[in-house]
Chains A and B, each alone.
Chain A
Amino acid sequence: MKIVVPLKRVPDPDTRIRIRADGSGIETDGVKFTVNPFDAIALEEALRLRERFGEVAIVAVTIGGEECIEQLRTGLAMGADRAVLIRATGPLDSLAVAKRLAAFCRKELPDLVLMGKQAIDDDSNQTGQMLAAVLGLPQATFVSKLEMLPGSSRVRCGRETDAGIETVVVSLPAILTTDLRLNEPRYIALPGILKARKKPVEEIGAAELGVPPRSRTILLKLEAPSRREGGIRVKTIDELITRLRHEAKVI
């Protein structure tokens, strides 16, 4: 069995982002970058499947420039068997990413693509679903429970939906996107990090996967949101109720 796990390089969730003065994006100087946390959950699940079933090859893949090799190294340190950088410049939207991943999957023919439900930078929550559409494969999004069914040709997935936990069975090959409760990614020990530095990172040139699709989303401007001003402190529940009733008029 082969599992492809796309990893996206994103600003660390605990860093406060700063917007560039010209509104063209965020400041990247001095910002710590990390593997998108949802993608780390996806990779962790792939590793657990390999631990359970043996014969599983895990391919971590990312799209971008030289700097993304750092996240591939993290993937290798966690335990991915291979790491692939698909070269691309400039910002890519979900569809442009999905098309590149689709071209990659047509070459690699994975049984499963496991990826995060959303990236914590653009919060789009689209790429997995678009990849499934482009490849014409079934999908299960927001997966918080995953179980391989006997024969390894179908997976049973618990999905976190607004209505509750939904269970679906999808035939492989399939695209699954991971939600928070699926697992807790392992801690990477130092020997793993050192070993990962010696492992090769494969590279695919920007044009090698055929026509490089353009982004259809054009960022015009990035701005700071209007800040909420802190209000007042009340001393008692009585004061709170009075103010909510007569001042804010919301109850």
Chain B
Amino acid sequence: MPQILVIAEHDRRTLRPASASAAAFAQRFCSLTEGAYEVLVLGSDVAGIAAGAAHWGAAAVLVADAPALAMPLADRYAHVIAQVARDRGAGVVVAASSTFSKDVLPRAAGLLDAGMLSDVVDLAADAEGIFFRRAMYAGNAVASVRLEGAVRVLTVRAGAFAAPVVQGAGSPIITVEVDPAALPAATEFVGCEPKMGSRPDPTEARIVVSGGRAMRTAEDFERLVGGLADALGAAIGSSRALVDSGITHNTLQIGQTGKIVAPELYIALGISGAIQHLAGIKDSKVIVAINKDGDAPIFEVADYGLVADVYTVVPEMIAKLKS
């Protein structure tokens, strides 16, 4: 009966919806092994945020609340996660994939002497126990992998696990002790230059509109990609080329080394479709590609392709969606 510890992520105001998918993963895991799962929320003054996880069906919501945890510094967070995992006898530690979990969880795995798998998309059991599936080689291979050892650490792709099924009353909230003196102190948080705008995160949105090399300026990107996204209530994304050329912000990069998305609808505007980009969008339900070049590889994966200049047809599409 393995105990699973789900690490919830938040932005100091609310829980990230993606974290619920880690709880959904835990629920699937428990259905195969009859274990139970608990959710851990770390931060400063986060009781209100933690309450948001009380309806994820967990056995308990644990709260590590301390001023020293106000910012998600990896050394401190990993220290607390490892401590709680030991105290609660956790055999699995899991979080939804994000830069937060990718920063913190491998460090916790190192402290726990645990093997780790990143970006898990599925799990199954055979006679020898549970194994996991994850993509490798820019999504060109799917690996089935078993993890040995007393503790296993995982990040899971949010899109691969739906929301947890909730029954009964809310989970009890339990405060865990944090000894500030024991926390590492060699990292100092200076600040964060936040990304612009209030559009949803591409890993959590139902629709993502993404732009590529065809966008010549940041203004054009905002007018075409941003404009279409707003007409659809969608998130925006970008190919690596636009981030490298300074036209878009790094938080928008979609692909093997950026964000992996799996929305219901992915609209690629002027994106040629390098394999590294396709690795990040393959699991989208419907892919639309608009590109001037009819031979662009993006059309090989697109459900609907339109060979056209984005500068001409995107304004038309925005106008028609608004009318």
Contacts and interface: CB of A to CB of B under 8 A. Distances in A.
Interface of A: 11, 13, 16-17, 19, 26, 38, 93-95, 98, 117-118, 120-134, 136-142, 144, 156, 159-171, 174, 179-181, 215-225, 228, 230-238, 240-241, 243-244, 248, 250-251
B321 interface: yes
Given A123-B118, A240-B304, A244-B288, A222 B136 contact: yes
Interface string B104-116: 1111111101111
Contacts of A93: 115
B207 A221 contact: no
Contacts of A241: 317, 320-321
24 contacts: A17-B137, A19-B141, A95-B109, A120-B137, A122-B136, A123-B137, A133-B111, A140-B187, A161-B100, A161-B103, A161-B251, A168-B189, A180-B244, A180-B257, A216-B148, A217-B116, A220-B145, A228-B282, A230-B305, A231-B287, A233-B305, A234-B304, A237-B317, A250-B265
A163 B75 contact: no
A230 B302 contact: yes
A162 B99 contact: yes
**CB-based closest 5 A-B pairs:** A133-B110, A216-B115, A231-B303, A129-B106, A130-B110
Nearest to A135: B110
- Chain B CB within 10 Å — which of A117, A137, A170, A228 has the most? A228
Contacts of A164: 192-195, 249, 251
A251 B115 CA distance: 42
Contact of A138 (B11, B144, B187): B187
B256 interface: yes
Contacts of B34: none
Contacts of B25: none
A120 B257 contact: yes
B91 interface: no
- Chain B CB within 10 Å — which of A38, A171, A220 has the most? A220
Nearest to A165: B193
A223 B141 contact: yes
Contact of B302 (A120, A127, A231): A231
Contacts of A232: 303-305
Give the size range of B's interface with the partner.
Answer: 35 or more
A180 B240 contact: yes
Given A129-B104, A228-B300, 6 more contacts: A141-B74, A164-B192, A164-B194, A170-B186, A222-B144, A225-B142
B316 interface: yes
Nearest to B104: A129
Contacts of A11: 137
B147 interface: yes
Interface in B145-203: 145-149, 184, 186-195, 201
A98 B100 CA distance: 20
B106 A162 contact: no
Contacts of A250: 207, 264-265, 285-286
A165 B253 CA distance: 13
A110 to B, nearest CB: 15
Contacts of B264: 250
A225 B275 CA distance: 13
B140 A160 contact: no
Contacts of B306: 233-237, 240
Contacts of B301: 228, 230
A171 B118 contact: no
A93 to B, nearest CB: 6
Contact of A161 (B192, B244, B299, B302): B192
B73 interface: yes
Nearest to A23: B144
Contacts of A98: 110
Contacts of A170: 186-188
Contacts of A138: 75, 184, 186-187
Contact of B191 (A167, A219, A235): A167
Contacts of B30: none
Given A123-B118, A165-B192, A250-B286, A137 B148 contact: no
B218 interface: no
- Chain B CB within 10 Å — which of A125, A181, A235 has the most? A125
B110 A134 contact: yes
Nearest to A124: B118
B47 interface: no
A232 to B, nearest CB: 6
Nearest to B78: A133
A141 B73 contact: no
B98 interface: yes
Interface string B81-117: 0000000000000000011101111111111011111
B59 interface: no
Nearest to B98: A162
A225 B304 contact: no
Contacts of A121: 136-137
B116 A95 contact: yes
